[in-house]
Amino acid sequence: MHRLTSTFCLLALLFTTNTTFADCVEPTKQELKSAKSAGWKLDDDGKRQSLALSAADCLGNPDTELRDELAFEGLSAWMRTEKLDVETLTSLRMKMLNAVQMPAAEESSFLRPFAILTLAELVRADRKKPYLSAQERIDIVNAGSHYLTNLRDYRGFDEKDGWRHGIAHSADLMLQLAMNPAIEKPQHETMLAAIATQIAPSTHFYQYGEGVRLMTAVYYLARTPSFNKRDWDLWFNKLIDNSIQPGPYTQARLAQRHNVSAFLLPLYFSVRESTEPALKENLLPALREALRKVN
């Protein structure tokens, strides 16, 4: 019943807020350029709220300057300086949730990863100045975890198209959620399970820092009280069992070994350099054993 109620509320909000994506029009690009040249300072508050929603409509645009350097950069700047009101933040949140739940398709291959990255900024804003309800945070955890688990588009950067980088952007969302003190253990478990599914894919060699981004999210999850040493021992054992397959070298096995190493090594050094004794006690033994098995 709780899940049905949550779903009903989510659907109701979809129909009562400005959550659909309109066409990204040329005047929006010019307005964003003007705002950027002014250091994203826009004295007219109503104009800023309106432009933020118009910028959101451009997050899926194939024009890399418009999508990344104007639309997303503007939204991030305004959220980080608390220039967007709760009504605008709510509309943005629902737009982004709609986007990440779209079916995977080439026409949404830019929108979905940039919607995830925008959700990360929305969660960061909530950490700095809470505005989300407990259920709204859970909805973001569930949507982000589902997106990450099911993501199969591993494209990072292209000189012509710019960034997609869905894995790294999803990791950024997991990081912001991990840092949010209002997120609780059941959500931490959901997030950690989702991250584990993408640490060592067998179909792609990570090359754009994805391992470090995933590692950072796990590092901050490890700083919460949600997991103890036994939890981490079991988690790392399962990770290695799923990542290191016996037998002759194949492209799939090499990809998994490469990817899991790109996650484990920076995590090991980060934990080793930590000044938190509990973090070292909980993770270092399992990390050393995991690295031994990889090597």
Per residue in 91-119, pLDDT (tens digit) is: 999 999 999 999 988 888 999 999 999 99
Cα separation, 123 vs 243, in Å, equals 31
Q: Closest by alpha carbon to 2, among 134, 93, 148? A: 134
Model pLDDT, residue 165: 98
Q: Are 188 and 227 within 8 A, CB to CB? A: yes
Are 86 and 133 in contact by the 8 Å Cβ rule? The answer is no
Return the domain boundaries, the chain: 203-211+227-295
Cβ neighbourhood burial of 191 (10 Å; 0-12, 13-18, 19+): buried
Q: Provide the pLDDT confidence category of residue 16 given band limits of 50, 70 and 90.
A: very low
- Name the residue among 170, 8, 19 with its Cα closest to residue 89: 19
Answer yes or no: is pLDDT of 17 > 80.
no
Residue 12 clears pLDDT 50, i.e. is over it: no
Q: Residues 71, 77, 82, CA angle at the centre, nearest 5°?
A: 125
Cβ–Cβ < 8 Å for 91, 100? no
Distance of CA 173 to the CA centre of its chain: 3
Q: Which helix (H) or strand (E) holds 217?
A: helix 210-222
Q: What percent of the chain has pLDDT over 70?
A: 93
Q: Are the C-beta atoms of residues 198 and 255 closer than 8 Å to each other?
A: no
Helix (H, G, I), strand (E, B) or coil at 157: strand
pLDDT of residue 19: 63
Q: Hey, is 241 helix, strand or coil? A: helix
Confidence of residue 231 (pLDDT cuts 50, 70, 90): very high
Residue with tokens 């990204």: 24
